[in-house]
Structure 1
Amino acid sequence: MTTPYRCPNCKTNRSRFNIIQQVSHSVKMDPQSGSVVREYASNELEPFHLPYNGPDYRVQCGACGLIEDERTFIKHGEQPI
C-alpha cells in the first residue's frame, strides 16, 4: 500500500480511499436452512472444499464508491495525470 492509487471509474480521486481487509471463514452450511453446520480452520478443510485464494485487500473509492481489487487502483495510479 505504498504506491499511488487512482480511481478507474471517476478518474479524479487520488487521495480518498477505503481499504477493505478480506478475512475468509470456511464453513459448511445446511442446504435447506442455511445455518452453519461446521466451521473449519484453514488446515482442516475437507476434500472438495477449496481454500480461499482471492485478494487480501479490496479498495473502495472514497469519492464515487467503486470497489475493486487493489491492483486495479494501482495500475490507474501509475498512469500520468
Structure 2
Amino acid sequence: MEPMLCPSCKTNRTRFNLIQQQPTAVKLHPQTGEIEQEYTNDALDPFHLPYSGPSYRVQCAACGLIENPEMFIKRAQHSFLNK
C-alpha cells in the first residue's frame, strides 16, 4: 500500500474504505433481467469480454469520493513533490 490523499477534499490522508471488486460474468434475459447463465473466466461466451478493471477501488471516508487507487496515490505523490 502506498500513501494516499483524497483528490476531492484534499485533506484526508488516513481514512479510506477499500472496496473489493469481484465481478461475476453473467448473461441476462433481455426482457426480464433474470440471470440466464453465469460464466467463469476460463469459459466465457465468445462475445463476452473478461473484466479488466481494478481489483479494488478506494472511497474517501471523509467526503465519500470513490475512485481507482491511482487517483489517490497520484494526488499524494503530487502533494509531496510540491512541499
TM-score range, shorter chain: over 0.9
**Identity percentage over the alignment?**
56
Distance 2:10 2:53 in 1: 25
After the TM superposition, which residues 11-50 of structure 1 pair with which residues of structure 2 at under 5 Å, given as runs? 11-50=10-49
Distance 1:41 1:61 in 2: 32
Shift of 1:55: 0.6
Shift of 1:6: 0.2
Distance 1:21 1:77 in 2: 21
Give the residue type in structure 1 aligned to 2:52: N
RMSD, aligned CA: 0.8
Please list every run of 5 or more consecutive structure 1 residues that lacks an aligned counterpart in the other structure: none
Shift of 1:77: 1.1
Aligned to 2:57, what secondary structure does the other structure show?
Answer: strand
* TM-score (ref. length: structure 1): 0.95
* TM-score (ref. length: structure 2): 0.93
- Structure 1 runs (4+) greater than 4 angstroms displaced: none
Aligned to 1:43, what secondary structure does the other structure show?
Answer: helix
Distance 1:64 1:9 in 2: 8
Per-residue deviation, residues 14-42 of structure 1 (Å, max 9, x unmatched)? 00000001000000000000000000111
